[in-house]
Structure 1
Amino acid sequence: MPFTNAFRKMNEEKNTALSSSEGTRVLLFIQLLELGGSETQCVELARRLAAEGYSVTVGCLRAGGPLRKKLLESGVRCVVFPVPGTLLRPYAILQMLKLVAFIRRERFSVVHTNDLYSNLFAIPAAWLARVPVIVSSRRDLGRWWWYTPARRKLLRRIQRFSTRVLVNSEAVRQELITRDGFAPERIVVVHNGIDTERFAAARADREKLIPGTSANDKLIIMTANMHTGAKGHGDLIEAARTVRETCPEARFLLAGDGEMRAFFEEQVRTAGLARMFIFLGHRTDIPQLLSCCDIGVLTSRSEGLPNAVLEYLAAGLPVVATAVGGVPEIIENEVHGLLIPPDNPGALSTAILRLMKDEQLRERLGKAGRERVETRFNFSRLLASVKRIYEKRLSSSGRRQVIPARSFHRANSSHGNLHL
């Protein structure tokens, strides 16, 4: 008996030390690691959690992407469960079972999904694996083609398997309560974070970074994908007609890419505005680009909490933005920027011209905007909020152990293809 007790005590001390050194095991899941708002937030959260001592893994549905390198440089492991096409195919179910086995084998205490498709794929897997803390996410208002009534109902049912639903704005929270019937106490608002120092310190030579521009040009930038018309590129192009009449020195920079780029390029040519617009495509040097610009613009018709606005403000730019979704949670009109209604090229051109003509206004808004993001939208606040969600739920759940994946032996034994 003494020997048995000593042996048990030795094992307990060993397990305690091992648990302390490894930290809480967290699986963050995202559809892909391409450049994008949700993807950037996920990667930054993973890096910062790892720096805090958490044992972090990032899972995704597609291999590759420019953000993968950033994770690997930070020592964060990446795994992929490839699902080409729809999630309704048998192959997707097989990948989900592999994920269940992976979660059980790795003994994750937290599974945190970060976008629509990771919600649909990883939340059921985490629930089957009996993970103590399952955090799902909603980062937009659901104003695009996917959100049919039947699909909204399906997503709502799946997200009810999660212990908490994390949203990035009060606007999204209200949408989930009023339209989807979520209980208010299950939803937690955690605003996006921004690396303010990275943007404040950025410097670049304008003429080298953006060929075809000069020191006399007034550069107005919009960073947004071009997958649909929802970002309002057409409104900006229409507003540029009016801006040209008063300020011919204005140049519009469009950073981002997508299926509709050719359509917008043709729209610019047809309007006779080719000299005013520069299509930059995908860029990884956004801080340097913004350091060269005079005004930042957001013309979206729907948003959750746009990273683009946070980046403009962090760079000290005066901002014109549509008052949609969580944008008014970032910008108080006339204090941190100028808010305008969506789908209104006339209001957009008026606000742009007002900034171009008033240097003092530009300086005042730029300074106030930078102070706003430094105090309210930094990654320290985001990280502290997310850690509270994890640890509070882990404490209440008693950190229950997951069940060994005996019933998923075959899926478990074929995991060699999971690492990127």
Structure 2
Amino acid sequence: MRVLQLIDSLDAGGAERVAVTFANALVSKVEYSSLCTTRKEGLLKNNLDKGVSYLFLKKNHALDVFAIVRLLRFIKREKINIIHAHATSYFTGTIIKIIKPKMILIWHDHYGNSELLHKRKFKILQWCSFRFNGILCVNKNLTQWAISHLKSKDIRYFKNIVSLPEENDTNLKLKGIEGKRIICVGNFRPQKDHQNLLNAFELVLAKHPEYSLHLFGKNWGDTYFNNIKEQIQQNNLGECVHYYGAQKTTLGLLMQANIGVLSSQSEGLPISLLEYGIAGLAVVCTRVGQCEEVINGFGQCVDPNRPEDLALAIHSYIENIEKRTLDATLFQNHILKNHSIDAIIPILISYYESKR
């Protein structure tokens, strides 16, 4: 079994983290494990295991012939027989499948706007899906959508995975008072609804002014990010809300906090939620995507776009340390049992084998 993980970039996003985790975990489990990023490298390149064969295509547009030829040569040289295409890389994978019909092509749908699937454009994806040997979806909404709209014969929900670093992975020290830190890891896109989080945090500060909020994630310097910066400035939150940008690893950062929060309007199955669990944080999140099922009762889950409810959930953990500690421990055990490498990789390998 010779497997290639295909992804369009190595920025610090959820789909990218899964692709890197799969590539690394498979090194010792299959004959050959590799990863190809088609358009862009990024922070996560440094997270690749030395045993993972790596290719950067430098693809400039959808039908970049030279990039496709480079990928075909790599596939032939390394005798790859399974391509696991993540997110938007499905188009590149489909071109390879057309040229090499015997190639096994799996598509992994990480679509984050699973609450807004009625707005999803899918005509090209639908055409490509005729050639997919299977589709893996990160939540049940996506699974049902794929069954209704796409053409693959094998479509299934597949739990997301989180890796467990062996040691503290950062030298960055969080600001604020130890024991009184709230953290949010999520790229600055509208679906993450940082405005909702900031509104909730203002309510938290009214009762607990000693607490601080720590934001991690990539920003594109766009209107959304600028609006968040403006909200922080206008509400005089600069002394207690801290932004650190995107980071290639997060465990060491998360372990410096006490409560992990997601305030999203829409999600698939966020990797950051799993990372909160691995780090032993108490979790507060919105009831979107697969979040509530992942929490499994071991955290606080509220409706989106309701900052008052989000603030109350955070208050409950600030004011009841015993409950916070218990929930954090139970959630950590739950994630280790259901979403760790040891739990997921055997299922993934079995799935690959079923396609051969």
Same fold (TM over 0.5): yes
Aligned to 2:211: 250
Per mean C-alpha deviation after superposition, the further-off stretch among 336-345 and 284-293 is 284-293
Structure 1 residue identity aligned to 2:155: I
- Is the 1:29–1:58 contact (alpha carbons within 8 Å) kept by the matching residues of 2? yes
Deviation at 1:93, TM superposition (A): 4.1
Structure 2 residue identity aligned to 1:257: K
Q: Secondary structure at the match of 1:230?
A: helix
Q: Distance in 2 between matches of 1:59 and 1:299?
A: 32
Aligned to 1:356: 318
Aligned to 1:186: 154
Aligned to 1:113: 85
Matches within 5 A, 1:249-268: 249-259=210-220, 260-268=224-232
Q: Distance in 2 between matches of 1:347 and 1:78?
A: 45
Structure 2 residue identity aligned to 1:191: K
Aligned to 1:209: 173
Structure with max Cα Rg: 1
Alignment coverage as a number of residue pairs = 353
- Is the 1:168–1:305 contact (alpha carbons within 8 Å) kept by the matching residues of 2? yes
Aligned to 2:340: 378
Q: Secondary structure at the match of 2:27?
A: helix
**Given the alignment, which residue of 134, 137, 141 partners 2:108?**
137
Q: Deviations over 1:149-179 (max 9, x none)?
A: 6x4121122022110011122232122224x
Structure 2 residue identity aligned to 1:77: S
Change (3 A) 1:273 1:146: same
Q: Secondary structure at the match of 2:261?
A: strand
Q: Secondary structure at the match of 1:330?
A: helix
CA RMSD of aligned residues (A): 2.4
Q: Secondary structure at the match of 1:242?
A: helix
Q: Distance in 1 between matches of 2:11 and 2:112?
A: 21
Aligned to 2:137: 167
**Given the alignment, which residue of 295, 318, 330 partners 1:368?**
330
Q: Secondary structure at the match of 1:51?
A: coil
Per mean C-alpha deviation after superposition, the further-off stretch among 362-371 and 100-109 is 100-109
Point out where structure 2 has 5 or more consecutive residues left out of the alignment: none
Structure 2 residue identity aligned to 1:111: I
Q: Distance in 2 between matches of 1:256 and 1:203?
A: 17
Q: Distance in 2 between matches of 1:101 and 1:361?
A: 56
Structure 2 residue identity aligned to 1:247: H
**Given the alignment, which residue of 23, 32, 39 partners 1:55?**
32
Q: Deviations over 1:258-291 (max 9, x none)?
A: 1243331211111222222011112234111111
Report the TM-score, using the length of structure 1 for normalisation.
0.78
Aligned to 2:93: 122
Change (3 A) 1:370 1:197: farther
Structure 1 residue identity aligned to 2:200: A
- Is the 2:204–2:311 contact (alpha carbons within 8 Å) kept by the matching residues of 1? yes
Point out where structure 1 has 5 or more consecutive residues left out of the alignment: 1-23, 395-420
Indicate yes or no: 2:201 matched with 1:235: no
Matches within 5 A, 1:256-335: 256-259=217-220, 260-332=224-296, 335=297
Change (3 A) 1:287 1:101: closer
Q: Distance in 2 between matches of 1:322 and 1:265?
A: 22
- Is the 1:204–1:291 contact (alpha carbons within 8 Å) kept by the matching residues of 2? no
Q: Distance in 2 between matches of 1:285 and 1:96?
A: 31
Aligned to 1:153: 123
Structure 2 residue identity aligned to 1:192: N
Q: Where is the helix percentage greater, Structure 1 or Structure 2?
A: 1
Percentage of matched positions with identical amino acids: 23
Q: Deviations over 1:12-46 (max 9, x none)?
A: xxxxxxxxxxxx22121100112221111111111
Q: Secondary structure at the match of 1:367?
A: helix
**Given the alignment, which residue of 26, 29, 46 partners 1:69?**
46
**Given the alignment, which residue of 6, 9, 17 partners 1:40?**
17
- Is the 1:104–1:129 contact (alpha carbons within 8 Å) kept by the matching residues of 2? no
Structure 1 residue identity aligned to 2:143: R
